Structures are given as structure tokens and as C-alpha cells.
């Protein structure tokens, strides 16, 4: 957690409890009833976005809520100003900015918003610095995504070894595989560091690796996967990499760039990920995902949405 956030949380005191109760809660019905129809619709849409889970591939949902709250604030909505202030106070969707938060709370409090008045007392900052999106029709800036945004806390890898550090220690007789995998990664529009991370976890760069479940070679292809991607000799490095990369690319498309889901499916099969609507509760799979994320250092990857339709439960959640 950033130092600025820790300082903010330590000063909010009673405001922190209020924030916990109201940050992702629906906009009160009384506020909706009193608002003009257009403003009511805007607040409802923003509230729905703010309450959406982080794990369904909508990494921008809090920022999209901020865009709508900016518009509501320009229309003079105290609730919109308060909600936007909360997003700035805690750095959700927009960069953390206590001055912006204080000015928004002050504006909403002047319109009689009780919770905004409480937050203004708790935050301990006086400011007239409103976000630009409140003064003119423009989008707010986006908060930078954290490396493991949307990944459950128990899957965060911490400060472990990166793939670069891992490769530095790779024995000489295995190092020829690095340029081969790097070159082939470009053919499949994959980040070579992700491919190398998967290889490291799957086989430790052992072309002859075989698991008790008959997974074979560098990227540990089971017979069904090898057949699916037309790999005739899974112990041939180039063939194995081709099959593994094609499968990984397909999984990234199917799970819309979510590496945790793609890695879990690579380990346990997409059927199990779909059944549990996320990373399955199997200790082996969760440890696998955690290690891949730790080596790679991110939870997102670009994907080709035209390669396959999204997983049905993921697509349903994103609507």
C-alpha cells in the first residue's frame, strides 16, 4: 500500500468507518427519488459501476464511475460530488488526491450533504482545488493499475524472484532456450517474459520433463493439448513451444487478458476455471498461479478478442 494511502487512513479515524460503510454501497434511494430523471439515471449507472467486482475483466470500472460522477458534479449534484471525493480520497479509479477530495467534500457539504461534512472534518485538509473534470467537460485522469489488480490477496506473490533474476541463474546448457522462446513469442503476440515464466514453472527449462500425469516437455503439454494444437513430438523444443504458446494465446483471449485465469486454466484446464468462475481452490493450482504471477510481475496481458469468444461467465459478468 502506498505511503500516502497509509497516512490518509491514519488521519481519517471516524471517517474511515464511514468510508467503509459507504464507499461501494448503492446510492441512497432518497437521493435517487429527489434527483431529476437524467441525474437519477447518471447516479444509478455510476453506482452500479462503482459496485462492480474487480475480477471480471472490467479494470476501468471505477474510473468509468468517476467519469459519470464528474458529470453529475458539474450538474450540481451533492451526491455526485461526495462520491467523486471518496474516489479521490482513496485513489480508486483516479489518482489519490486529498486536495481534490477535500474540495469536493466542501462543495457537497455546502449543499447540505451530511456525509460529505463528516468526511471533510475527518480528512483534515482545506482546499479549493477541484478536479478539472468538475469545471469543464473532460474525463478525469486514471489511477495507475497495481501489478496484481483484480487478483485475490492470497494469490499475490509478494516480493519474490522475477523472471529476469531467474534467467540470470539458469545453467549454461539451458540458456539456448531463451532466444528460441523469445523469438517464437513474437510470432504469437505474446510477451516473452510471460512465456518464459510459464516454462520456468512448468519444467524448469527441461526439454525432457515428464509429469506423473503424462505432461511433456518444456511447457508440459498433456496428450490432449498436444493433439489439439497439432504437436507430434512434445519433446522437440520448437514443437512444444509452438503448442504451448498457441494454447496460452487462446487462453488469454478466452479470459480476456486475465493472467491468473489463463494460468489456472493452463494448469487445471479451462473447464475447472469456468466451473469455479475463477482460480479453482486446488492448492497446486493456486500455488502455480501465484508463482507465474510472481515471476512475470503483472496480472494482465494483451489479447486478441477475435481469436475466440470470452468465457461465458466472464462475458456475463462484464455486461
13-40 tens-digit pLDDT: 334 433 443 444 445 555 555 678 899 8
Contact 204, 219 (CB under 8 A): no
Mean pLDDT, the chain, rounded, equals: 85
Number of independent structural domains in the chain: 2
Q: Is residue 48 part of a domain?
A: yes
Strand partners, 210: 216
| pTM recorded for the entire structure | 0.59
Statement to judge: residues 30 and 107 lie in one domain: yes
Q: Is residue 188 part of a domain?
A: yes
Q: Is residue 42 part of a domain?
A: yes
Q: Is residue 294 part of a domain?
A: yes
Q: Is residue 250 part of a domain?
A: yes
Statement to judge: residues 97 and 183 lie in one domain: no
Choose among 72, 21, 84: nearest CA to 43: 72
- CA 28, 31, 33, 38: dihedral to nearest 10 degrees? -110
Catalytic residue from among 50, 79, 141, 202: 202
Residue 218 has pLDDT above 60, yes or no: yes
Statement to judge: residues 126 and 158 lie in one domain: no
pLDDT tens for each residue of 137-190: 999 998 876 666 666 666 666 667 899 999 999 999 999 999 999 999 999 999
Residue-range definition of the domain harbouring residue 254: 153-318
Question: What's residue 161's pLDDT?
Answer: 84
Mean pLDDT computed over 269-276: 96
Contact 102, 125 (CB under 8 A): yes
Dihedral sign for Cα atoms in the order 63, 67, 72, 73: positive
Question: What's residue 230's pLDDT?
Answer: 96
- CA 148, 251, 285, 191: dihedral to nearest 10 degrees? -50
Give yes or no: 305 in active site.
no
Q: Is residue 141 part of a domain?
A: no
Statement to judge: residues 182 and 299 lie in one domain: yes
Amino acid at each position: 500500500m502506498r505511503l500516502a494511502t497509509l497516512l490518509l487512513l491514519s488521519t481519517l479515524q471516524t471517517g474511515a468507518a464511514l468510508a467503509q460503510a459507504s464507499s461501494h454501497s448503492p446510492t441512497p434511494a432518497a437521493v435517487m427519488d429527489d434527483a431529476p430523471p437524467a441525474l437519477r439515471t447518471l447516479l444509478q449507472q455510476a453506482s452500479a459501476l462503482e459496485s462492480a467486482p474487480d475480477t471480471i475483466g472490467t479494470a476501468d470500472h471505477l474510473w468509468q464511475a468517476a467519469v459519470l460522477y464528474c458529470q453529475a458534479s458539474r450538474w450540481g449534484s451533492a451526491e455526485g460530488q461526495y462520491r467523486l471525493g471518496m474516489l479521490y480520497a482513496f485513489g480508486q479509479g483516479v489518482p489519490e488526491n486529498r486536495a481534490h477530495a477535500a474540495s469536493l467534500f466542501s462543495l457537497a457539504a455546502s449543499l447540505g450533504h451530511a456525509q460529505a461534512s463528516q468526511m471533510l472534518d475527518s480528512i483534515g485538509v482545506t482546499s479549493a482545488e477541484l478536479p478539472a473534470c468538475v469545471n469543464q467537460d473532460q474525463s478525469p485522469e486514471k489511477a495507475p493499475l497495481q501489478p496484481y489488480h483484480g487478483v485475490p490477496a492470497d494469490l499475490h506473490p509478494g516480493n519474490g524472484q522475477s523472471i529476469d533474476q531467474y534467467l540470470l541463474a539458469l545453467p549454461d546448457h539451458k540458456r539456448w532456450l531463451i532466444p528460441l522462446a523469445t523469438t517464437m513469442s513474437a510470432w504469437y503476440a505474446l510477451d516473452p517474459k510471460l512465456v518464459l515464466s510459464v516454462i520456468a514453472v512448468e519444467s524448469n527449462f527441461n526439454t525432457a520433463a515428464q509429469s506423473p500425469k503424462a505432461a511433456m516437455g518444456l511447457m508440459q503439454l498433456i496428450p490432449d493439448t498436444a493433439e489439439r494444437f497439432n504437436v507430434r513430438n512434445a519433446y522437440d523444443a520448437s514443437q512444444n513451444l509452438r503448442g504451448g504458446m498457441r494454447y496460452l494465446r487462446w487462453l488469454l483471449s478466452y479470459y480476456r487478458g486475465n493472467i491468473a485465469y489463463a494460468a489456472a486454466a493452463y494448469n487445471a484446464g479451462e473447464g475447472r476455471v469456468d466451473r469455479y468462475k475463477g482460480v479453482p481452490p486446488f492448492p497446486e493450482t493456486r500455488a502455480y498461479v501465484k508463482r507465474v504471477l510472481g515471476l512475470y510481475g503483472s496480472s494482465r496481458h494483451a489479447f486478441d478478442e477475435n481469436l475466440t469468444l470470452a468465457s461465458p461467465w466472464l462475458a456475463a459478468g462484464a455486461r
